[in-house]
Amino acid sequence: MKKNPVRIFLASLILGLLIGTSAAPCFSGQKQPDPRPGEERVARAIEVIKDLASIKEEGIPARLLEKAEGLAIFPGVVKAAWGIGGQYGRGIVMIRRKDGQWGNPLFVDLIGGSFGWQIGVQKADIVLVFKNREGVENIASNKITLGADMSVAAGPVGRSAEASTDLEMEAEIYSYSKSKGLFAGISLKGGTLRVNQEANAGFYGASHNPSKILYENIKTPVIVIRLHQTIEELSRTLKK
């Protein structure tokens, strides 16, 4: 069977984009001092949640944000495909504790491959809103595959969502995204969320059990307080 040179080229490009996204932090020319790795990712997460919650008529409804039991925020997820595709992103996940306060961010990776008709390259900011705590707890205990272990669907938007007091829909996770680039057939189904132990150890200064990070008061930088304040402010101000 003859190999299609165009397909080979595009496949190589896609692979390079996905690997490059993963490796980019390691090759930055001059080494910059970073006493607390991960602060930049939390800062970007703040911008992403503000952006996606503030989009008129298409953003995350304040009512859903207020009732959320968990959040996962992924700045700049890259998805690329030519028939066979893949996606990669680094982000954080948090759980709302029983006292109503948000816990510490747990650093996670979004990894996945996909099959079927699809073509294109896309970079997207993604927020996943968890309707129940079990989803986040499952990530901490092992890993989950979106669409298999937990159902995921595009989140409700607009006034109808804000008017609903229960938001009783079938999906366990609602997704919101803002993307750049062209992609036909984009879907988060099949993507796997995995704890990034190295990133967590770098951010917190020691290796901790993921559940301890989510539930206990580990000393964290001011940037985490800013993240918590941002989410609470969005829950209140967007309803005005």
Using only the alpha carbons of the chain, give its radius of gyration. 18
Whether 30 is covered by a domain: the verdict is: no
Q: How far is CA 200 from the centre of its chain?
A: 15
Q: How far is CA 140 from the centre of its chain?
A: 15
Report which secondary-structure segment, H or E, holds 199.
helix 197-204
d(CA 72, CA 16): 26
Report which secondary-structure segment, H or E, holds 7.
helix 5-23
Question: Quick one: average pLDDT of 185-201?
Answer: 82
Q: Which domain holds residue 48?
A: 5-23+37-237
Return the amino acid letter for 213. Answer: I
Whether 109 is covered by a domain: the verdict is: yes
Q: Flag whether pLDDT at 51 surpasses 80.
A: yes
- Write down the pLDDT at residue 142: 78
- Write down the pLDDT at residue 22: 45
Whether 29 is covered by a domain: the verdict is: no
Position with higher pLDDT, 189 vs 200: 200
Whether 213 is covered by a domain: the verdict is: yes
123-157 residue pLDDT tens: 889 999 998 888 888 888 877 888 788 888 888 76
Whether 142 is covered by a domain: the verdict is: yes
Whether 32 is covered by a domain: the verdict is: no
Whether 101 is covered by a domain: the verdict is: yes
Domain count, the chain: 1
Of 97, 101, 57, 52, residue with least CA distance to 74: 52
Whether 44 is covered by a domain: the verdict is: yes
**Which parts of 131-223 are beta strand (E)?**
143-145, 152-154, 173-184, 192-195
d(CA 43, CA 46): 5
54-100 residue pLDDT tens: 887 778 888 888 889 999 999 988 877 665 667 789 999 999 998 88
